[in-house]
Structure 1
Amino acid sequence: MRLTVVERMILGSRLAVVICLVSYGCWLSYIPWKVDLLDIEYDMFGFALLVFGIFSLSSMLFVSHVLLPRFGPRMTGLAVIAFAFALQIWVFAPNTTLFIALAAPFSLAFGVIQPATLAVITQAEALSGRRLQPLHWASFSAGSLIGLLVGVISQALKLPPVLVFGGLFVLTVLVGLYIFMRPFGTVTFKPISSPGFRIPSQTVLFLGALAAASMATISIILDWSALWLTRDLGLTIALGGMGIMAFNFAEIISRLYGEKLINAFGESLVAGWGMLVGCAIFLIATMSGNAYLIVIGFGFFGFFTANFVPVIFGVAVREETENPIAAVNDVNLLAFVGFLFGPPLIGYIAKSVSITACMIILAVTWGLIAGILMLSRKLNGVSNGA
């Protein structure tokens, strides 16, 4: 059956996100192995994440203002191929110095995929009249979860990392070629105008600040939960990725039904009160100190906070009708400012206090974000359509 233009846009963007996050999710589960292998200190690991953030932000800024307006989103397939090569050399960095330095090329490739796929989904939403952001972000969760499962199973079977990541490399390159030649190769995208380098509107700055706060702290789960569960709470390395798996699985379920949830209950309940409930459950689980309760807490937190990011981007599109693609990319850029400064700060707190303290900060911060967003009155109630 021949796919429509919108279906091809959705297929290409979701494939790009999923295949890259599969590799990245697998890599996250192998981080304790790499940290132990190179004897990397927490603060040095945080510095590697700082390098990742700086180059990701620079890449996204350049892509949004130069590459996307000039070449369009079709370059996403090529970025996926570059991502595969960059991750391969980062995973097998032979020492701490190169581990930090090689985070840069990986983040440059990753920085192309995010704004390019966001541009595609924003255009697809305009053509279809549907809320596609929740399912788009579900692709991130699905890719991470599949990757974590691959990582956990591979470590349980004691497969050589070169075999695991070599196989993912070949698969990612093949998918990148397919995206470039098939779904995106047969789509004529609308021209994307560059907004120029200017100060975003107050609405975009506000939404971007909330997104930045969330990105600054969500890395606590992605980057530190495996170390926390294994080194501090006693789970085996093979089970270290269980927290991220629970978080991502719950995210996927919530985002798969995100469009229906938002239409049925409204943005305020889904992205406001729901987040507060998730934060409270996760805080209680963290304070218990029980690794298995904490894994369950990760799941509840993932479910109740999953649609915050899609709602934020939806609000940006609704409020900034003149150039919605520029608005979502500006919010995305500001979010990565949080990702830039959050990890090294979290690394310092993890080393000076504890990773448990970082998890408490995560729950409290996201609760504050939910409260501020509801007080802003920018969230809609129950809707009857897209």
Structure 2
Amino acid sequence: MDCRKDSPTFGQRDDFEFSASSGRALVIPRGVGHDFDGLENIFTLNTYELFLPAPDDWVSSDWKPKSDVINVPSDIEPSEVPAFTPNPLPAGDKWYQLVALQQKVMIPLLSHEYPLTKEIQFDDGQSHRVALLKRTTKEKRPDWEPIEGIGGLGWVNLPYVASGPESGFVPLLEPYPLYFIDHGQTGYTHDAFGIHMGQEDHLLFAGNPDQIVSLEVMDTRDTSPTQGARFTIEFNPDPTRYLKIPAGVGHALSNLENVYTFNRAAVYLPEENAKNYLPGNDVIDWPRSNPEVPKLKANTRKAPPEFYRQQISDQVLLQQAPPMHSTPAIMLIDGPNGEKIRVALRKRVDTVS
């Protein structure tokens, strides 16, 4: 429902149906009301954009960041559709950083679910926005739950705002690029360990909470006290936490069909020749059938913010060109002098628009 005051389609409504898909995003302009049905067992990734009032309107505007959402009855009469003026200015990086900081500090302190915000008309003729809050019964968990056997491996519990008995919002607040992976519906199993030399994975799993996912891990870090450890754990998808896998810890997942993975990975650079580090060639594939646990040197220097900014710029350029090959498989082979050499195997793909 278009609630934008100066829109040529103000007051118009539309209803449509669609199937959930990881291949496209629904763009809803600010000022356009929306309501969903049939979202049971659906996970939504919202990479929203924020807009601010014009500088001259800050004083007179009744907009506040924490009451940005206004709830309007879905059965409202056409003549009663409210008219709003959306904020005009795209927010800058600093504003996003402030919002993330506020959410990181405040959400763990919340004792209520996501508010229902309404415009209330009082007897004296004045109108005010009122937030209706319901107390939450969700139990607080520790921020960090280590997995015994490999140092640095474990679960990080995320801030969470409930919106119902089985639904809620999970803000992804870390300042790292987001990778979203759809594992399909017909059985997704790794036949090789993925070993990142310079990437610390932060894997959030969304899917059927009763499904059992299997993860085999092995510690290849040459300086780790748990080097050589190799074992399997099982868990259920839970979108309120992520699995932290340090660089140099190999991992192979099984039973991932109908599970979606969100990864906000932190990058670590080598101590020498950091400028030559290529994230795309970072992972080594180690066959699960090989009982040996290799000894490898993982990167240890945390990448600075400018590294991620450059990574974003590079990815924008990549998206402008058609894909030429699939994700490479990086293998370790023996060189002529016995040293290990990395070889990247790339499969050509047909471009599909």
**Normalising by the residue count of structure 1, what TM-score does the alignment of the two structures yield?**
0.25
More helix by percentage = 1
Q: Which has the larger radius of gyration?
A: 2
TM-score norm. by structure 2 comes to: 0.27
Of Structure 1 and Structure 2, the greater strand share is in 2
